[in-house]
Structures are given as C-alpha cells and as structure tokens.
Structure 1
Amino acid sequence: MPPDAPAFSVVVPVYRQWEHLPRLLAALAAQADAPGFELILVDNEPEAAAPRPEAPPGLALRILACARPGSYAARNLGAAAARGRWLVFTDADCRPAPRWLAALAAGVDPGSLLAGPVEVVGGEPPNPCEIYDMIRGIPQARYVARGYAATANLAVPRAVFEALGGFDPRRLSGGDAEFCRRAGAAGHPLRLVAGALTRHPARADWAELAAKERRIKGGQIGAGPLPRRIAWTFRTLLPPLGDTRAYLAAPAPWRWRAVAVGIRFRLWGVDLTEMLRLLAGGRPRR
C-alpha cells in the first residue's frame, strides 16, 4: 500500500440518485477531525450519462463506472480501486453527521467490522409513507446484535474485505447481511460505534416503499442457500405479527403507530405477490 494512502476510502454506489449527491458531498466535506479519506462514487447505470457533481474544495473524489447491475457489484468495483486501509460504505442519499468518520476512526479495531447507527428522517410533518419508514427504520443496533449491518453505515478493514472476496455480486438485496455473517464465521466480529451516525431520508411515497419491499423479497427468496430461501417463503405466507408488535411498541405517537401497522399489512400484499412472481421464475428486482 502506498505510504500516502488515506486511512479511509468511502465507497458509494449510485443508481439513479445523482440528485442526492450534492448533499452527501457537502456532508463529507464538513467532516470534523476526520482522518485522511477519499471518496469513490460508482455509477451503476453508466449508459444513462447522468450529470456528475463537482467535488467541494479539498474533497478527493473519483467516479467509476460499473455496468454490472447491483449495488454490491458496484461496491466491489469501488473497493478494488480504493487506496484506503479501511473501506467505509454508505449510500448516495445518506447524510453523515459531522463526526461520522472521526467516530469510526476512534473505534478502529483490527480484524473487526464497524457499524454506525442510521437515523431515518422524514418531512415536517411527515406524510404516512414517511411515518411508516421512520418507525420501521434501519435498526442498526438490533442488526449488529444479530450479526449483520446495513451498508448505509458499515466499515470493513480492506485486508478483511479482500480475504473474504468482497460482497456477493449476484445479489441485488441482502448482500450486506450475507457478507457480515461470512465475516463473523471467519473470525471477524462486528461492533457498533454509537457515535458514528448517518441519516437516511424516509421514503416519501407508496411506489418507493413497494419497490424496496420487492427488492428485499428478491434477496430473501431469489438468492442464497436453498434452506434459507424456503424458510423465507414460508415466513412470507404468515401475517406480519412480529412487525406489528414492534411498531405498536415504538416510541412514537399512537396515530403514527397505527399508520405504520396499516401500511405494513398493505405491504404484506406486495410481499405475497412478489413471492409468487419469484416462485414462478421471475428475476429479483433492483
């Protein structure tokens, strides 16, 4: 590794979200007490020729192209070009807090993976779809307790990433959980760094919620070991009572909790329809 290599390489896949990039770039340019880092954006739809953002002064930025569909294939390509000792993954629509990288640097533990909290934020006031997404959230602490983390806020030692062969590029969803579990099985634990916060905008309409639900279902039923896929198929047939209990117990106004439960049952219909499509031979969606 070159002696002038940065401590961190921040890798961000971009698929039809270029309008979010100026805010992400501003948040990264405003990092306080951060170690040296570079930013690698990976265009996952290069044929679209979307307008590219300009980097703020002082922010080391590279933009790469990945024609293979899927955010995990894009992350692998970005990681292969990275120069940092640590690979830090986030998403194009995320807004890292000012001390995000400083907190990750303070929590560095050789051989371990690091995850930070993800706060889902909506409008003022949030609409029903935003309310649902905020209550559902991205409960990173709960994920870490189960051995995985969302790539909205995940840091991996570069040597560990390379030794494990990176993410499974065939997956369009769930590749973060699969990678973290594979790392754990190889002796690389996952730790939560509470101060390494990033924020994620809530999905603001039904189309966005349904698209995410279909993508997740594709990762559950359309990829991975056969026993896990069968288990997810049977779980999909059951009403979402576990989610209902969790949403009703959320620290939110009663009206919000009721809205979240109602939308979750409506999304169960999306789950069932997508399950049938996948079982009939349909391909997982992006």
Structure 2
Amino acid sequence: MHRSDAPFVSVIIPVFNDGERLQQCLAALAQQTYPRSRFEIIVVDNGSDDLAGLKTLVTAYDNATLVVETRPGSYAARNRGLAVAKGEVIAFTDADCVPAVDWLERGVARLSQDPNCGLVVGRINLFFADPQHPTAVELFESLTAFPQEQLLRDHHGGATANAITWRRVIDQVGPFDMQLKSNGDLEWGQRVFEAGFQQVYADEVQVDHPARRLLRELYQRTVRLAGGYYEVQLKQAKSLGQRQRMFVQALLKNLVPPVFFVVNAFGDGRLKNLNQKLKVSLVMVMVRYISAWEVVRLKLGRTSSRV
C-alpha cells in the first residue's frame, strides 16, 4: 500500500522492563508494507527500571515516540498513548509481539471494509524458544493462550496484543478502565459491542508472540488473568448478593477438576506423546488451583497483581 490517502495510524505499545523484546517489535514495525509516512509508533513506558535505555532504543526510529505513564497497569499505559495519538486508526500490540510485515496493511484494510466496523481482532501465533524441546508450560500455552476468535465470539473482545479500531470508536465508548489489571480489553470490547459496532476476527492480520516457558511466568499470568476476570465480574454486580454469588461461582469453577480439558488434551494431535499430554494436563490442574486461590485472596481484601 503506497496511497497518500491511507488512514493515519497510531500504533500504541505499552512496555514494562522488556527492552530486548521491544527492540524486536520495533524492528518488525520498521518493515511494514503500510506507508511509513502514514503511521506513528507510541511506546508507553509503565515504570521500567532503565528508562534511559528505552529512550535510546525508541529514538532510533524516526516515527516512534516514548511517553511515560507512572500509574501501574497496561490499560493506564494504553490510555496515556491514546492521549497523545494523532491517528484516525488506533492499532494495539505489545512489546513482546512481532507483527507480520503486512500487519497494518491487512488490519486497516479489514477495518475499512465496513463503515460500521468498530474492532478488528487478529490472530496471535505462539512460538517456542526451542521448537524441538518445548517445555510443559509452552505446550500448555500453545493450546490455551490468546484464542482470539473464541474471545470475540464469546466475550465480544480480544487481546490488545493484536487489536485495531477507529479513534472515533474510542471517543464514543471511552478509553480502557485503568482500575483493571487484566481483562480490560474484553471489558472495552463489550462496550464497543453494546454501542452497536461490528466486530471482526481477521485471521490474516497476524502477530507472533513467544509462549511462556517457565512455571513462574505462567503463575504470574494466571494470577493476573484470574484477578482481572474476577474484578470485571464484581464491577458488573449490582448488589452485595450478586457479588457473593459471583465469588462462589468463580471459586467453584476453578475447584472443579478440568475433566473436559484433560480429555481434549489426550485427543489433541498437537501433543506428540503421552508424556506431553500428561504434563499439559497437570499444568491445567495447577492453573485452576492458582486461580481459585487468587479469587480467595481478592475476596479477603488483597489487591490484584499487575505482572
């Protein structure tokens, strides 16, 4: 695409202590087929230890800008990016993502197909550090992480690792809820849906994302997602009784053994042998109980995690 009338795009990328992978993300954006003069990159630091290093990295790209958001949380960071964005189109990705070279071109084309389209959610491809020797956590992630099409169908939203919208849509439905540490992308997508905009899953609009490798990394993600989902549910509750029921439902959902997941895992051709199937099933059990404990922790008045 080399048209001077291409919509101007603002790509917003929050970052927190992830300069090495941000460099890969920026390098991929520098190779985009979308006209370089028609998009800007806004990197939003959210409390990284090496701000000077990030500034050096970002300023190496002539269409990239670094801004700072001191309030912790990726949604606060994205809102900070929105405050300075100049684009008619807003594209969200994450510092650890590697967008395909035609990510913006395909994303903007899909967004522009229908004048009432309010959100394009694209595919997120997971990759392993060592494809020949994936860890149990990587295998688990490959089966469960970022099911964009399912998220859009069931929750009317998608992960902001790969989401594109019009600025006018954000102006109408409002920015992200900064109080949420996770699931804020789904909560925002629900508002887009309720406002009557069309939402599209576009398999051809792709970014790559590294699968988490270690149990520690999966633990952090599980705590963040469980807390975010529970907080969204509480926000929607209108009475003390509803909040109590949501607590019980969330607890029971995670305490029930994941029988269907285990059955599906044993029949999934992506898992090559019995050892992989057993390991992934055990990881799923662990995730369920970590989630249950996080719900109890939040019920006792603790705060949700940002990492």
**TM-score, normalised with respect to structure 1:** 0.91
| Range 270-279 or range 197-206, more displaced | 270-279
Structure 1 residue 201, shift from structure 2 partner: 0.1
C-alpha separation in 1, matches of 2:90 and 2:264: 33
> CA, structure 1 residues 18+238, in 2 after alignment: closer, same or farther (shift >3 Å)?
same
The residue number in structure 2 matching 1:263 is 283
- Aligned ranges 1:239-250 → 2 under 5 Å: 239-250=257-268
The superposition leaves residues 10-32 of structure 1 with CA deviations (integer Å, 9 ceiling, x where unpaired) of: 10111121221110011101112
The offset of 1:55, in angstroms, is: 4.5
> Which structure has more helix as a fraction of its residues?
2
CA distance in 2, matches of 1:174, 1:182: 13
Contact 1:129 1:204 in 2 (8 A): yes
User: What is the distance in 1 between the residues matched to 2:148 and 2:260?
Assistant: 18
Contact 1:6/1:83 (CA < 8 Å) preserved in 2? no
Determine the C-alpha separation between the residues in 2 that align with 1:32 and 1:137. 28
Residues 249/189 of structure 1: CA separation in 2 closer, same or farther (3 Å cut):
farther
Q: Is the 8 A contact 2:255 2:289 kept in 1?
A: no
User: Aligned partners of 1:50 and 1:173: how far apart in 2?
Assistant: 28
Distance 1:50 1:214, change over 3 A: farther
Q: 1:235-286 CA distances to partner (integer Å, 9 max, x unpaired)?
A: 2232233433443443412443332111111222212222221111110101
Q: CA deviation at 1:115?
A: 0.8
The reply to whether residue 283 of structure 1 matches residue 283 of structure 2 is no
Counterpart Cα distance in 2 of 1:8 and 1:246: 41
Q: Name the aligned partner's letter for residue 123 of structure 2.
A: P
Amino acid at match of 1:225: Q
Q: Does 1:234 align with 2:269?
A: no
Long gaps (5+) in structure 2: none
How has the CA–CA distance of structure 1 residues 244 and 162 changed in structure 2, closer, same or farther, with 3 Å as cutoff?
A: farther
Which of the numbers 214, 239, 242 marks the counterpart of 1:205?
A: 214
Name 2:124's counterpart in structure 1. Answer: 118
Establish whether residue 87 from structure 1 lines up as the match of residue 96 from structure 2: no
- The CA deviation at 1:111 is 3.3
The code of the aligned residue for 1:111 comes to N
Question: Aligned letter for 1:60?
Answer: N
* Residues 87-96 or 131-140, more deviating: 131-140
Per-residue CA distance 1:177-203 (angstroms, 9 max, x = gap): 001011101101210112111011000
The change in CA–CA distance for 1:135 and 1:50 in structure 2 (over 3 A counts) is farther
2:169 corresponds to which residue? 160
Residue matched to 1:42: 44
- Using the TM superposition, name which of 44-53 and 147-156 deviates more: 44-53
Whether 1:127 and 2:135 are equivalent positions in the alignment is: yes
Contact 1:121 1:200 in 2 (8 A): yes
Q: Check the 8 A contact 1:10/1:87 in 2, yes or no.
A: yes
C-alpha separation between the residues in 1 aligned to 2:60 and 2:71? 31
Deviations 1:207-248 (A, max 9, x none): 100000000111122343234843433322322334334434
SS in 1 for 2:129: coil
Deviation string 1:37-56 (CA, Å, 9 cap, x unpaired) is 11000001057535114348
Deviation (angstroms), 1:149: 0.7
Counterpart residue number, 1:7:
8
Amino acid at match of 1:41: V
- Displacement of 1:78: 0.2
SS in 1 for 2:205: coil
Equivalent pair of 1:95/1:198 in contact (CA under 8 Å): yes
Q: Residue 169 and residue 246 in structure 1: after superposition, are their counterparts in 2 closer, same or farther (change >3 A)? A: farther
The two structures, once aligned, show a CA RMSD in angstroms of: 2.3
Which of these residues, 59, 63, 66, is aligned with residue 60 of structure 1? 63
Q: 1:73 aligns with which of 76, 90, 96?
A: 76
User: Contact between 1:29 and 1:59, CA under 8 Å: does it hold in 2?
Assistant: no
TM-score with structure 2 length normalisation? 0.85
2:268 and 2:19 mapped to 1: Cα distance?
A: 33
Which letter does structure 2 place at the counterpart of 1:265?
A: V
Matched, 1:107 2:110: yes
User: Is the 8 Å Cα contact of residues 148 and 158 (structure 2) preserved in structure 1?
Assistant: yes
- Structure 1 residue 182 and structure 2 residue 191: aligned? yes
Provide the C-alpha distance between the structure 2 equivalents of 1:254 and 1:74, rounded to a whole number of angstroms: 42
Q: For residue 204 of structure 2, give the secondary structure of its aligned residue in structure 1.
A: coil
2:153 matched residue in structure 1: 145
Secondary structure of the structure 2 residue equivalent to 1:163: helix
**Residue 33 of structure 2 is aligned to residue 25 of structure 1:** no
